[in-house]
Amino acid sequence: MSATAPVRFAKSVKSDILQKALADYLPGHALPRAFYKDPEIFQMDMRNFVLAHWHCVGHVSMVKNPGDFFTVDIGEESIIIARGSDDQVRAMLNMCRHRGSRVCNQAEGHAKNGHFVCPYHAWTYDCSGDLQRARLMPPDFKKSDFGLKQVQTRVTEGMIFITFADEPLGFDHVEEAFSKSARVYGWANAKVAVRRAYVIDANWKLVVENYQECYHCGPAHQEYSKRHVFARPQEERVAPDNAMHARDLALGVPLDNYDASPAIAQAGQESAASTRSAMFEGYLTGSRDGKPVAPLMGQFKGKDYDGGFTFIDVGPTSNFVAYPDYSLVYRTAPLTADKTIFELIWLVDGDAVEGRDYNVEELIWMWDYTSDEDKKIIEMNQAGVNSAFFEPGPYTPMEIDAQTYIDWYIESMR
């Protein structure tokens, strides 16, 4: 049996609300109010932009053994990520093929006897999604026709990506970008140390725009700004970044070959881009005191810190931050027009032992602290946008990546 029932979207028609909002958009400015508030536009965001792309949902260490699983939510969709008895990682809609009940109500775990049992009528599925048992169905019922629906899944450098698209965007550009970035940090052999989810009462685009720019870092993230040159205007970053690249070369770590273009899509391919920046003198990594918080990873093993860090962006919702001793998966998951979850997943070397090689509180301090600050300022942003008198203002030069992202979004929605 094979549970390969694909996801199929009904075609959606552009609404008058969306058409007006598109007409009101002024290039070089933030979006009109409707894009951040209207439930109808949110549904079209999900159908025509968000779910049409690839999304990182986690790391393979989260499903290390057959029967291991975890669940993620994106909008109204719940997905089970599980490793089957054939050792394959799959993404299945958390929706029983009988009457649609959620099958799994746990965030993570190990499937008992390798099966998921729907709590409503006890239809039973294995970790490949195949229907194994359907109580009291007639003799001519074909279980093979009723496996859990699946969405396409790709694993690259240990990261699990999924897409809901009928015809997915190409993944080659992502794999190429990861071969020049994630591979350097050894993500394929990493493990998850901590996961934290932050619920933000704001539209998902405000969350993404905030991530894409550091114009806000000076006033809003003083601790981050003390450590990261990226918080400074471009002209002030040149000398420290050049010094960092010189250290890269001296260490023999090929970190100067990144595509530093903005995260815009090539024709038919998922977008993928990365950029590098330096830490301030005296800081080796993103930590409270600037000192290492975990063992060196990947190609840094046996070498040293280069005094830099890396941003990697894939598609509309998946972002990554990498230091030589730990890395972060930064997932933006839209839930409703005014509620978004962003999840942080901290990665360390696969052989690192908690309590011996790293302390969780010190490992997460920098980005847990920063994320709490982000939650506050993004929710304040949404509160202001909610005003009937809101008029979008122009982006500054330090917000060029946010502007590029919004231009990409607008073109996709058109």
Q: Is the domain of 375 the same as that of 269?
A: yes
Q: Is the domain of 243 the same as that of 348?
A: yes
With residue 413 as reference, give the H or E element that holds it: helix 400-413
Distance separating alpha carbons of residues 387 and 391, to the nearest angstrom: 9
Mean pLDDT of 177-186: 93
Q: Is the domain of 105 the same as that of 220?
A: no
Q: pTM for the complete prediction?
A: 0.94
Q: Tell me, what's the pLDDT at 261?
A: 53
Q: How confident is the model at residue 266 (pLDDT cuts 50, 70, 90)?
A: confident
Q: What is the pLDDT of residues 33-53, one digit of tens each?
A: 999 999 999 999 999 999 999
Residue 127 has pLDDT above 70, yes or no: yes
Q: Is the domain of 187 the same as that of 161?
A: no
The reply to whether 85 falls in a domain is yes
When divided into structural domains, the chain yields a total of: 2
Host domain of residue 255: 171-387+395-413
Q: Is the domain of 342 the same as that of 406?
A: yes
For the record, the structure tokens of 103 come out as 């099958």
User: In the chain, pLDDT over 90 holds for what percent of residues?
Assistant: 90
Residue 109 has pLDDT above 90, yes or no: yes
Q: pLDDT: is 88 or 13 the higher one?
A: 88
For the record, the structure tokens of 185 come out as 């940090």
Q: Is the domain of 208 the same as that of 103?
A: no
The reply to whether 37 falls in a domain is no
With residue 42 as reference, give the H or E element that holds it: helix 39-45
Considering Cα of 299, then 342, then 351, then 109, what sign does the dihedral take? Answer: negative
The reply to whether 22 falls in a domain is no
Which residue do the tokens 């053994």 mark?
65
Considering Cα of 152, then 156, then 161, then 164, what sign does the dihedral take? Answer: negative
At which of 126, 148, 168 does a domain end?
Answer: 168
Q: What is the pLDDT of residues 203-223, one digit of tens each?
A: 999 999 999 999 999 999 999
Q: For residue 178, give the 3-state DSSP assignment.
A: helix
Q: Is the domain of 251 the same as that of 359?
A: yes
Distance separating alpha carbons of residues 327 and 39, to the nearest angstrom: 34
Q: Is the domain of 137 the same as that of 158?
A: yes
Q: Is the domain of 164 the same as that of 179?
A: no
Q: For residue 382, give the 3-state DSSP assignment.
A: helix
Q: What is the pLDDT of residues 274-308, one digit of tens each?
A: 889 999 999 999 999 999 999 999 999 999 999 99
Mean residue pLDDT of the chain comes to: 94
CB of 273 within 8 A of CB of 320?
A: no
Q: Tell me, what's the pLDDT at 3?
A: 45
Q: Tell me, what's the pLDDT at 267?
A: 81
Q: Tell me, what's the pLDDT at 82?
A: 98
Least confident of 23-27, 169-173, 175-179, 261-265: 261-265
Q: Is the domain of 272 the same as that of 136?
A: no
Q: pLDDT: is 7 or 331 the higher one?
A: 331
Q: Is the domain of 262 the same as that of 377?
A: yes
Question: What CATH number corresponds to the domain at position 103?
Answer: 2.102.10.10
Contacts of 228 (CB under 8 A, 6+ apart): 217, 277, 279, 280, 286, 309
Nearest of 278, 58, 53 to residue 156 by alpha carbon: 58
For the record, the structure tokens of 90 come out as 């799959």
The reply to whether 42 falls in a domain is no
Contacts of 26 (CB under 8 A, 6+ apart): 392
Q: Is the domain of 92 the same as that of 103?
A: yes
Residue 2 has pLDDT above 50, yes or no: no
Mean pLDDT of 224-231: 96
Q: Tell me, what's the pLDDT at 340?
A: 98
Q: What is the pLDDT of residues 184-202, one digit of tens each?
A: 999 999 999 999 999 999 9
At which of 144, 168, 192 does a domain end?
Answer: 168
The reply to whether 28 falls in a domain is no
Count CA within 13 A, CB hemisphere, residue 61. Answer: 18
The reply to whether 381 falls in a domain is yes
Mean pLDDT of 241-257: 88
Q: How confident is the model at residue 8 (pLDDT cuts 50, 70, 90)?
A: low
Mean pLDDT of 131-135: 97
Q: Tell me, what's the pLDDT at 180?
A: 87
Distance separating alpha carbons of residues 62 and 256, to the nearest angstrom: 31
Residue 13 has pLDDT above 70, yes or no: no
Q: Tell me, what's the pLDDT at 10?
A: 53
At which of 150, 168, 186 does a domain end?
Answer: 168
The reply to whether 108 falls in a domain is yes
The reply to whether 40 falls in a domain is no
Distance, CA of 375 to chain centre: 16
